Amino acid sequence: MYAIRAATPADRPGATALLARAQAVPEQHVGYHGVTVEEITAELAAVRPTWASGAAVGVDGDGVVRAVLSVDVDREVGRAWLYGPFVEVPDGHPAERQVWHNTADDLLDVVLRTPALAGITDLELYGHRRNRRLGDFAARHGFAAGSASRVFTLTGAALRSALVGLAEEPGCGPVRLGKDPLVRRQVGDLHERCFPNRTVSARQLVEGARGHTVVTLTGVDGLIGYAAGFIQEEEFSVDYVAVDPNMRSAGAGRSLVRALLRELAAEHGARGRAAAVIALGNDASERMFTALGFDLHLELVGYRRQEPAAGAVVGW
């Protein structure tokens, strides 16, 4: 129905418009994207190595982008995230489901052959729990369903309160991560212990290689915890919060999140909301964020396919 091919930079505006239409519908929503043209424009601009180098599109007879699958690759962690697939099928088409799946399969075939994915065998999909077609697509291509996660957001008066509330006394509360090699090493160690399935390496985190701002809280015995986040077009994103297991339930996490939001606002200016993704079942984190005023926004499901790298020895 559509001509499937590798994307070019000229396709990006059309792909952005398509994504904005699809992201507004829970049954098509993908977790890696925002919902506005401005958010999606910024997200595609940040894709590694470049958006066009790892994307496939489907165009109609007039050259309009009607389908797209993008990939974001991190070679340091050896993983790639598939943004999509998105397929726009005309309303009332008699074979809508078949067209969607056939087009999605063709998009994946093209993306898997792009140089951007050379040597990458760990792939992830991520979408709204009501995006059933994504789940079917994942199962058909060997992606195992992972745990669900919840997105919590902080807006309005609750966000303003977090940003303008009383700061900690100097020397007593969280501070931005500095150059102290001991603290940086402790942050990296805690990050690796608390997030075995991390999407950002310890080096990337402490060096800010992926755009993270990190705040830390220390005590007489060393690091108590850290919080890390980054700016998106319309929100503060709280990406990681970790507190030493021996120091939990004392308010350190809440203090770190508030300090992180203030640091992000001071450096980048105000945003209309803050967001955090929490694995389903992580009740302690949910309690911490709800105590700060965060509310449940939506639920997402991840899918992952891991294959042995070329030349790897499997079994005996």
Q: Mean pLDDT across the stretch 295-313?
A: 82
Residues 78 and 132 reside in one and the same domain = yes
Q: What is the CATH number for 279?
A: 3.40.630.30
Residues 129 and 229 reside in one and the same domain = no
Is residue 309 included in any domain, yes or no? no
pLDDT tens readout for residues 203-258: 999 999 999 999 999 999 899 999 999 999 899 999 999 999 988 878 999 999 99
The CA distance from 52 to 218, in Å, is 43
Percent of the chain with pLDDT over 70: 95
Q: Are 54 and 5 in contact (CB under 8 A)?
A: no
Q: Is 188 left (phi over 0), alpha (psi -120 to 50) or beta?
A: alpha
Is residue 304 included in any domain, yes or no? no
Residues 205 and 76 reside in one and the same domain = no
Residues 26 and 50 reside in one and the same domain = yes
Residues 134 and 16 reside in one and the same domain = yes
Kindly tell me if the per-residue pLDDT of 316 is higher than 80: no
Residues 76 and 172 reside in one and the same domain = no
Q: Which residues contact 218 (CB under 8 A, 6 or more apart)?
A: 183, 224
Residues 156 and 137 reside in one and the same domain = no
Is residue 19 included in any domain, yes or no? yes
Average pLDDT, the chain: 94
Task: Name the band, by pLDDT with cuts 50, 70 and 90, for residue 314.
Answer: very low
Kindly tell me if the per-residue pLDDT of 312 is higher than 70: no
Is residue 307 included in any domain, yes or no? no
Kindly tell me if the per-residue pLDDT of 288 is higher than 50: yes
Nearest to 87 by CA among 99, 72, 95, 77: 99
Residues 40 and 167 reside in one and the same domain = no
Is residue 313 included in any domain, yes or no? no
Task: Name the band, by pLDDT with cuts 50, 70 and 90, for residue 309.
Answer: low
pLDDT tens readout for residues 247-280: 887 899 999 999 999 999 999 999 999 999 999 9
The CA distance from 122 to 124, in Å, is 7
The per-residue pLDDT for 224 is 96
Is residue 177 included in any domain, yes or no? yes
Range of the domain at 59: 3-142
Give the total number of structural domains in the chain: 2
The CA distance from 39 to 233, in Å, is 5
Kindly tell me if the per-residue pLDDT of 66 is higher than 70: yes
Is residue 308 included in any domain, yes or no? no
Kindly tell me if the per-residue pLDDT of 315 is higher than 70: no
pLDDT tens readout for residues 175-200: 999 999 999 999 999 999 999 989 99
* Total-model pTM: 0.90
Residues 112 and 197 reside in one and the same domain = no
Structure tokens, 203: 């080096």
Residues 107 and 166 reside in one and the same domain = no
